[in-house]
């Protein structure tokens, strides 16, 4: 079996669903269920014995030791993190606690477990750490995209905490020989994306008739990766990545934010026109810029293509259409996330079992 952390969040839940849909081994899923964790994302796995959910913290050493000893995973995939830049600006403490201290505790528990494994299992074991392109800092407009050799220059409390975790993972490999893999990916989008991030926020605000807040001049550039493609890349790295290596994962889709917002608006105009016939783009509102806002990220994903034969299947045009359609098709999910009702759903669905585990 594999041990996934943060598997009730946006990317983690997509990964668990994809993994099991593709016939992967059983999954032990450890998630603290912060505001970003949502068991409703995994509702389709209800009653599926291949998925075991445990509510808990990657910083809880005793819990980690117990779970590792009991379930004996052949791999750990670490998605658990505080992930929102704006929240990290308002309150960086949790980011240090989970992303830095939590990763450290996870590495230590996994190291103890791995060291005691019999030789063949020890040889095959992997810990895959999921990280971000934001660790590399910001790029000038004409600078080449981030390669795995790019200097690490994080600029936000979030990216600094992720860079710190990447360094710890690297050190645990070099010092202790722990068989790690690190992936640094660009901005994901797709189903189950919490509507505090750009794309889902624009979709839900547009439909609710609310302003679409664009920071600064809207000309900040990101690379956009469809979450299903990201999941496929992680599976591939886990399967064939070289131990101790880092792989950048990108969608080959660099775009300024305002273009993203206009694309979302145009799709909604087509798929769910406003009752008054006005375009959704009329709701765009330029607002004060984010402090320290990185101007441009771009991923050079040639290493993973060259070594592992992975390329994204989706273009931005195909991925964003699927995404907008998904949100239109899942108004209940959106309403539940926005109302916070999914917290009650946890108690109803999993009852005392989740709380006890
Ligand atoms: P998310 O915020 O949607 O999900 C994070 C999950 O981790 C949540 O379910 C949360 O409950 C859980 N969690 C938080 N603290 C925890 C703790 N201490 N112990 C156990 N679980 C905890 O984030 P996401 O967008 O799914 O991102 C997953 C990973 O991918 C993160 O490591 C993030 O840094 C990285 N990443 C995300 C993006 C993106 O565009 N979303 C891009 C690059 C990298
Ligand atoms: P976000 O989805 O928060 O991801 P990240 O900051 O990790 O890249 O933001 C993506 C881009 O969109 C980023 O440049 C900030 C910008 N943005 C807005 O312009 N308005 C918004 O309301 C949000 C949430 C983000």
- Closest ligand (CA of 290): 2
Whether residue 246 has pLDDT greater than 80: yes
For residue 126, being part of any structural domain is answered with yes
Residues 101, 60: contact at Cβ < 8 Å?
A: no
Please give the helix or strand (H or E) that residue 127 lies within, else none: strand 126-132
φ/ψ bin of 150: left (φ > 0), alpha (ψ from -120 to 50), beta (otherwise): beta
Q: What is the number of helices (H) and of strands (E) in the chain?
A: 14, 12
DSSP string, 68-88: HHHH--SEEEE--S---HHHH
Total tally of structural domains belonging to the chain: 1
For residue 270, being part of any structural domain is answered with no
Whether residue 341 has pLDDT greater than 90: no
Q: Report which ligand 1 atom has the smallest distance to the Cα of 37.
A: 9
For residue 72, being part of any structural domain is answered with yes
Select from 32, 56, 81, 136 the residue to mutate for testing ligand 1; criterion: most ligand atoms less than 8 Å from CB.
Answer: 81
| 228-257: average pLDDT | 98
Whether residue 357 has pLDDT greater than 50: no
* Distance from residue 183's CA to the centre of ligand 2 (Å): 21
When computed from its CA atoms, the radius of gyration of the chain, rounded to whole angstroms, is 20
Is the CB of residue 114 below 6 angstroms from any atom belonging to ligand 1?
Answer: no
Whether residue 114 has pLDDT greater than 50: yes
For residue 309, being part of any structural domain is answered with yes
For residue 113, being part of any structural domain is answered with yes
| 150-155: average pLDDT | 98
Model confidence over 69-111: pLDDT tens digits?
999 999 999 999 999 999 999 999 999 999 999 999 999 999 9
For residue 334, being part of any structural domain is answered with no
Domain containing 92 equals 2-189+224-253+296-314
pLDDT at 339: 81
Is the full-model pTM beyond 0.85? yes
Q: What percent of the chain lies above the pLDDT cut of 70?
A: 95
User: How remote is the C-alpha of 322 from its chain's centroid?
Assistant: 18
Q: Report the nearest-CA residue for atom 22 of ligand 2.
A: 213
Q: Report which ligand 1 atom has the smallest distance to the Cα of 80.
A: 7
Is the CB of residue 135 below 6 angstroms from any atom belonging to ligand 1?
Answer: no
Convert 255-285 to b/e letters by CB count within 10 Å (16 or more is b). bebbebbbbbbebbbeebeeeeeeebbebbe
Question: Please, which pLDDT band fits residue 63 given cuts at 50, 70 and 90?
Answer: very high
CATH of the domain at 148: 3.40.50.720
For residue 235, being part of any structural domain is answered with yes
Q: Report the nearest-CA residue for atom 3 of ligand 2.
A: 197
Average pLDDT score, the chain: 95
Whether residue 342 has pLDDT greater than 90: no
Q: What are phi and psi of 288, to 5 degrees?
A: -55, 140
Is the CB of residue 198 below 6 angstroms from any atom belonging to ligand 2?
Answer: yes
Model confidence over 273-316: pLDDT tens digits?
999 999 999 999 999 999 999 999 999 999 999 999 999 999 99
| Sequence-ordered list of residues with C-beta below 8 angstroms from that of 257, at least 6 positions apart, any chain | 198, 214, 215, 218, 219, 220, 221, 222
For residue 150, being part of any structural domain is answered with yes
> CA-CA distance, 342 to 43, in Å (whole number)?
11
């Amino acid at each position: 079996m594999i041990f996934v952390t943060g598997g009730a969040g946006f990317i983690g839940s997509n990964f668990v669903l994809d993994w099991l849909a593709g016939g992967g081994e059983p999954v032990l899923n450890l998630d603290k269920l912060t505001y970003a964790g949502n068991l409703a994302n995994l509702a389709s796995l209800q009653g599926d014995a291949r998925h075991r959910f445990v509510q808990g913290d990657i910083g809880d050493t005793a819990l980690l030791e117990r779970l590792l000893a009991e379930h004996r995973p052949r791999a750990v995939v670490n998605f658990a993190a505080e992930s929102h830049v704006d929240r990290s600006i308002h309150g960086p403490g949790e980011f240090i606690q989970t992303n830095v201290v939590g990763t450290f505790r996870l590495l230590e528990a996994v190291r103890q477990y791995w060291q005691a494994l019999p030789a063949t299992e020890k040889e095959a074991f992997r810990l895959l750490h999921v990280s971000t392109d934001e660790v590399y800092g910001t790029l000038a407009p004409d600078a080449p995209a981030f390669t795995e050799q790019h200097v690490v220059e994080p600029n936000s409390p979030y990216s600094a905490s992720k860079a710190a975790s990447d360094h710890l993972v690297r050190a645990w490999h070099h010092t202790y020989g722990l068989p790690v893999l690190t992936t640094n990916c660009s901005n994901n989008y797709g189903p189950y994306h919490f509507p505090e991030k750009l794309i889902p926020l624009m979709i839900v605000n547009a439909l609710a008739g609310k302003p679409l807040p664009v920071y600064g001049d809207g000309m900040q550039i990101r690379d956009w990766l469809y979450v299903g493609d990201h999941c496929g890349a992680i599976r591939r790295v886990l399967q064939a990545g070289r131990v101790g290596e880092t792989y950048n994962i990108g969608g080959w889709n660099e775009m300024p934010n305002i273009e993203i917002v206009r694309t979302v608006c145009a799709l909604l105009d087509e798929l769910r026109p406003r009752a008054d016939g006005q375009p959704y783009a009329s709701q765009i509102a330029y607002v004060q810029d984010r402090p320290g806002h990185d101007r441009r990220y771009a991923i050079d994903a040639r290493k993973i293509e060259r070594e592992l034969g992975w390329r994204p299947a989706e273009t931005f045009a195909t991925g964003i259409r699927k995404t907008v359609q998904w949100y239109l098709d899942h108004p209940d999910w959106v309403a539940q996330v926005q109302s916070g009702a999914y917290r009650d759903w946890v108690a109803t669905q999993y009852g005392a079992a989740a709380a006890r585990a």
